[in-house]
Amino acid sequence: MKKFIHALPKVELHIHIEGTLEPELMFELAKSNNIEIPFNTIAELKDAYDFHNLQSFLDIYYQGANVLVKEQDFFDLTWAYLLRCKADNVIHTEIFFDPQTHTNRGISFDTVINGIHKALLKGKEELGISNKLIMCFLRHLDEDAAFHTLALAIPHKDKIIAVGLDSSELGNPAGKFERVFKEAINNGFLTVAHAGEEGPPESIRDALELLGISRIDHGVTCSEDDTLLAMLAIKRIPLTVCPLSNTKLKVFDAMEQHNIVNLLREGLCVTINSDDPAYFGGYMTDNFMAIAEAHDITKTEISQFTFNAIEASFISAEEKERLTMVIKNYLTT
């Protein structure tokens, strides 16, 4: 199974570029940019990656992102992630970035997006990995800040396919961003949102009803509501699920208790993704393997996660057909 999963061409739809910052690069950038981090060694830093919920992770994740200063830093971060994609046979990736994490520290929007974008162009050219970029609003910040960020993004519309919503779900309902999402849609952006990671099924309903989203990031608490579950299955509304993230952040106590396999068998368009791999212990192959090891699952079901990801992606119908053929060819040779 390990060989099959590793070689399976994969599509990633839920990855925060700031969450790919490996400890080694964090220390290197802290030194070169003269940024203090409250850890003396990589071992000390890794010891701090012991999370009990989403917020305990976010506190460390935002602190880590402080070392990213120059355009080259954003380029190096993205390039390192793309090399991981290549090693894991990821053929297409849709990447989140959190501009407010950086603009709030005085880093310009252009520095962030240009560094990421240049690496993505090189990744397409040299590694053959296609991509889309999604800009997330931080939901713990206010509506005005989101509107301001949307205005900064508009001149870069050619580089950004969609807007998303991430950070602390509890206490920050989707409704807070209804107007900014409407404005984003009016400007031609697609929309997605984190919902149902820690929040209840109502949080998923809100995101669907108020934000016009094309897919739900996480969404695993949908299984607490049979009516919602049936609707997600019938409408094939995609869920970008992140197994290692969910167990690291105690959404599920153990991988055996993860509901993704049940959701797949109930006909939902569920996909496997890595979320913040540098913090949660693994990239795409590791996430697939974690599910395969904890659940009795067939190779056909494993491949269905990739077919679902192609269906849920923001690429053209022709590209979807092409990627589907890549997977079918893999399965028949």
Residue from the set 275, 313, 315, 323 that interacts with Zn ion by CB under 5 A: 275
Among left, alpha and beta (phi > 0; psi -120 to 50; other), residue 138 is beta
Q: How many residues does the chain have?
A: 333
Residue number, 297 or 312, with CB nearest to Zn ion: 312
Distance set, CA 10 to CA 57, 116, 312 (Å): 26, 21, 13
Indicate which of Zn ion, ligand ADE, none lies near residue 167 (CB less than 5 to 8 Å, by partner kind). Answer: ligand ADE
Residues 189-228 that bind Zn ion (CB under 5 A): none
Residue from the set 9, 12, 19, 94 that interacts with ligand ADE by CB under 6 A: 19
Indicate which of Zn ion, ligand ADE, none lies near residue 219 (CB less than 5 to 8 Å, by partner kind). Answer: none
90 closest CA partner among 14, 164, 191, 23: 14
Residue number, 94 or 275, with CB nearest to Zn ion: 275
CA torsion angle 21 23 27 32 (round to 10)? -30
Distance CA(277)–CA(159), nearest Å, equals: 24
Indicate whether 276 belongs to the interface with ligand ADE (CB under 6 A).
Answer: yes
Q: How many of the chain's residues bind ligand ADE (CB under 6 A)? A: 11
List 18, 71, 94, 197, catalytic entry:
197
Distance CA(26)–CA(228), nearest Å, equals: 41
Residues 48-87 that bind ligand ADE (CB under 6 A): 54, 61
117 closest CA partner among 86, 71, 85: 71
Task: Reply yes or no on whether 197 is catalytic.
Answer: yes
Parallel/antiparallel/unpaired status of strands 270-272 and 239-241: parallel
- The CB-of-82 to ligand ADE minimum distance in angstroms stands at 19
Site string for ligand ADE, 158-187 (x = CB under 6 A): --------xx--------------------
- The CB-of-186 to ligand ADE minimum distance in angstroms stands at 25
Indicate which of ligand ADE, Zn ion, none lies near residue 73 (CB less than 5 to 8 Å, by partner kind). Answer: none
Distance CA(278)–CA(15), nearest Å, equals: 11
Residues 58-117 that bind Zn ion (CB under 5 A): none
- The CB-of-44 to ligand ADE minimum distance in angstroms stands at 22
Q: Are 274 and 267 in contact (CB under 8 A)?
A: no
Distance CA(217)–CA(193), nearest Å, equals: 6
- The CB-of-180 to ligand ADE minimum distance in angstroms stands at 17
Residues 230-249 that bind ligand ADE (CB under 6 A): 245
- Mention every residue, 6+ apart, whose C-beta is less than 8 A from residue 135: 96, 97, 99, 149, 153, 160, 162, 163, 164
Residues 189-208 that bind ligand ADE (CB under 6 A): 194, 197
What amino acid positions are annotated as catalytic residues? 197
The residues that touch ligand ADE, with contacts defined as CB under 6 A, are 16, 19, 54, 61, 166-167, 194, 197, 245, 275-276
